[in-house]
Amino acid sequence: MEYIAKERIIIKLKKASHRSQRMTWTTVWSALLFCTVHVQAFSLSKTRRTSSLFVSISPSTRIPSPVDGDNGEWSLDTSVTGMGFYDLDENENNMFSFDTSSDIISDTIREEVDILEEREDRLYIDEFGVKRKVERCILVGVEELSAARRSQSDDQQPFFSLQESMTEMRELIKTAGMEIAGEVTQRLNEINPRTYIGTGKVEEANELMQKAADCSTIVFDAELTPRQQKHLENSFNKKILQDDFLVAGGEIKVIDRTALILDIFAQHAKTKEGKLQVELALHEYRKPRLTKMWTHLERQSGAGGVGLRGPGESQLEIDKRLVRDRIITLKHKIDDVQKHRTMHRLSRKRTGLPFLSLVGYTNAGKSSLLNYLTRAGVMAEPILFATLDPTTRKVKLPGYKTHPEVLLTDTVGFIQKLPTHLVAAFRATLEEVKEADVLIHVIDVSNPSWEKQELAVLSVLKEMKVDDKPIVRVLNKIDLLEPDDAEYLKYDAATSENTVAVSAKTGEGLQDFVAVVEDAMSQLLVPIEILLPYSKGDELNVVHEQGNVEVVDYRETGTYCRAMVPTAVAKRLEPYSTSHISMEPSGDRKSGDWKMNTEDDEEIDWAALAKGRH
Ligand SMILES: Nc1nc2c(ncn2[C@@H]2O[C@H](COP(=O)(O)OP(=O)(O)OP(=O)(O)O)[C@@H](O)[C@H]2O)c(=O)[nH]1
Ligand SMILES: [Mg+2]
C-alpha cells in the first residue's frame, strides 16, 4: 500500500522502544528517501514507551506503506491534527478525512509538532481510562557561595537563596506539567565548568533517577552552557552511548531553567506574534545545542531533491541549516508583525490618552488587576507566565479628574535569572513598557521573597532603561496576609510615595489605587497658556477633561486659558500658545516641576494676567 500527500503535511512515525533505535530509524529514513519524499522539517521525540518522528513533507509526494506486524519496523500514526493524505490503494475518493487546517502547518510546523510531542510525553491513559501525568523529573539546585558573597556588596542585585530559588523551580516544574521524583542540592564555592555540579552529585542524581519509576528527565536550576549540557547528557546517557544506542529505553533529558521557561512559554503563547517569538527563542536556544548525538543518521543528501542536493552534507549540517533558515524566516515574520504593532501604537498615541503599563514578577497579579479594572477577561491563573501577549484595554478610572480614561497594558511577568536572549525574543512586549507614561509595578506581598522579587523587577527595568518613568508600587494580595501584617503594610503604603496596598481579588484598596495613579500621572502634566479662538471650543473641552484648569478668561479674540495638561494635548495646542513654554522638565521630572521660559524672563503678575490686564 502506498500513500500520496494531498498537501503539505506532517506525518508522525511511531515505533515501540523495544527494537534497536538505530536499525529502526535508519530504515525509516531510507524508506522516506527512496521514495523521494521531500522532507522539509523533522523532529524526533523519544519516551520510554515509544519513539516518534514527526516529518513535514511536501504535497504530491508518495510515501510507502508502513511495515506493521510483530517485527514491524515502524508505523504511520494518523492521529496528528492537520494530516491529510490519500490512500492510493483504496478508491481515490476514499481519502482520510482529517482536520487539515492549513495555517497550523504553514506557519508553525515545528511549534505544533513540539507541543504534540510534549503532550504525548506527558500523558498516558491508565487502566481506568484516566489521563495521567507521567513525566517525572529530578530537580538539581546549587548554592553558589561565591555569588552569594558577591551579592552582599551589591544592594541592587537581589540574591535568591537556594531554598527560595528551589521553591520557585518547583512552581515552574508544576506549571510545565511535570512531577518531581527527587531533589539533589549542592553547596559549591564555584560551579564546575564542565558538569555544573560535582561528579559525585552527577552520580547521586543518576542513582536517584534509576530508583524513581518513570523518570528520565533532570532539571537544573541554572542556565547551563551548551558545553555543560552536552557533558551532563553524556554522563547521564553513558550506558546508551557505550552500547551504541542498542539498549532499551529512551535517553535521559537534561533540561535547564531556560528550557523549562521556554516550554511554559510554548504552552501559553496565544497570539501569532507570541507564538513566533517563542519559536524564535526556542530555535535560538537549540542552535548551539545541536550535537552529533544522531550521527548515525548521517548520509549523502543527493536524494533530498532540489535544494538538498550537494556534496556530502551530513544530517547535523542539514539540521543546522534548517534551524538557521527558520530563524531568518521567523525574524522576518516578527518584523512584519511589529510593523503593524508600531502603527497600532502610533494610532494609540494620537488618542492622547495616557498609557499605563502593568509590570511585575510572574504571578504577582497583573492580569487580575487588569481584569478587576476592566473586566477584560485576560487569563489570570495560579500558574507562572500565564500572560505572554500584551493586552491593552481602555480603562475608565472612577473619580479621575485629569485623566478619566487611560490605556492599561498587561505584560509578560519577569523572573529572576531571566536569560538575556529570552528578554530579546520578547522585545515587542517590552516595547510596550518603553512606551508607557507610567509603570504600575504589581508586587505579590504574600510571597515571602517579595522584596527580592521587587528588586529583581527593578533591575530588569533599569536594564531596559525605563526606570526613570514614574512607578506606582502596588502591594497586591493583602487579603492573604495576617490582619496585623496587612495593617502594617497599608500604613507603610500610605506613608510612602506612589505606593498603595490592594487586593485585586477582593477589590480592597482599589479606590486608593486610583488616587495614587492619579498622583503619579499629575507628574506628567505640563503647563500651557493659550488663547483659543472661539471656533475651537472642542479643544477647550479637552483641556477641561484631561487637564487641571487654573484660569479661564473669555476675551474679544478668544478664550484665554492657563492649565496643566498632558504633553500630547500641550503639543497640539502649541499654535495657540501666548508665551513660549519650554516642554523640557527642569531637572527631576518626577518632581513635576516644569520650567516656563518667558521671552524676556520678566516677572509676570499672574493675577493681573488672569484678569486680562497684563
Ligand atoms: N488571594 C489573592 N489572589 C490573587 C490576588 N491577585 C491575584 N491573585 C491570584 O494570583 C494568581 C496569579 O494572578 P495573575 O493575575 O495571573 O498574575 P500575573 O502577574 O498576571 O501572572 P503572569 O501573567 O504569570 O506573569 C491567580 O491565581 C490569581 O487569582 C489577590 O489580590 N489576592
Ligand atoms: Mg498575567
User: What residue ranges in 482-566 does DSSP mark as E strands?
Assistant: 499-501, 525-532, 548-554, 559-566
Could you list the mean pLDDT of each consecutive 10-residue stretch along the chain, which spans 614 residues?
51 48 48 47 48 53 48 42 36 28 32 51 53 76 83 74 92 87 91 90 90 85 90 82 55 87 82 82 82 44 46 63 84 82 74 85 92 69 71 72 74 79 66 87 96 91 87 96 92 92 91 85 84 88 83 89 85 83 40 36 39 37
Q: Which helix (H) or strand (E) covers residue 52, if one does?
A: strand 50-57
Question: What pLDDT does 424 receive?
Answer: 65
Domains of the chain (ranges plus CATH)? 1-104 (3.30.70), 135-255 (3.40.50.11060), 351-522 (3.40.50.300), 525-610 (3.30.70)
Question: What pLDDT does 92 receive?
Answer: 33
Ligand 1 nearest atom to the CA of residue 382, by list position: 27
Ligand 1 nearest atom to the CA of residue 362, by list position: 25
Question: What pLDDT does 611 receive?
Answer: 40
Pair type for strands 50-57 and 123-125: unpaired
Give ipTM to 2 decimals. 0.99
- The ligand minimizing its distance to the Cα of 510 is 1
Cell digits of residue 605: 503678575
Rounded distance from Cα 167 to ligand 2 centre (Å): 20
Nearest protein CA to atom 7 of ligand 1, as residue = 365
Residues in contact with ligand 1 by the CB-under-6-Å rule are 360, 362-368, 380-382, 384-387, 413, 476-477, 479-480, 503-505
For 251-262, what is the HEC assignment? Answer: CCEEECHHHHHH
Ligand 1, residues 268, 363, 489, 490: which to mutate, most atoms within 8 A of Cβ?
A: 363
What residue type is assigned to position 304 of the chain? G
**pTM of structure:** 0.67
Residues 6+ apart with CB under 8 A from 487: none
Rounded distance from Cα 449 to ligand 2 centre (Å): 19
User: What residue ranges in 85-135 does DSSP mark as E strands?
Assistant: 85-87, 123-125, 131-133
Rounded distance from Cα 507 to ligand 1 centre (Å): 13
DSSP 178: -
Instruction: Compute the C-alpha angle 391/456/479, nearest 5°.
Output: 65
Rounded distance from Cα 365 to ligand 2 centre (Å): 7
Question: What pLDDT does 69 receive?
Answer: 37
Q: DSSP per residue over 239-303, as a string?
A: HHHHTTT-SSSPPPEEE-HHHHHHHHHHHH--SHHHHHHHHHHHHHHHGGG--GGGGGG---GGG
Question: What pLDDT does 487 receive?
Answer: 92
Rounded distance from Cα 421 to ligand 1 centre (Å): 26
Side by side, the strands of the sheet bearing 548-554 are 525-532, 559-566, 548-554
| Number of Cα atoms under 13 Å in the Cβ half of residue 563 | 27
Question: What pLDDT does 344 receive?
Answer: 74
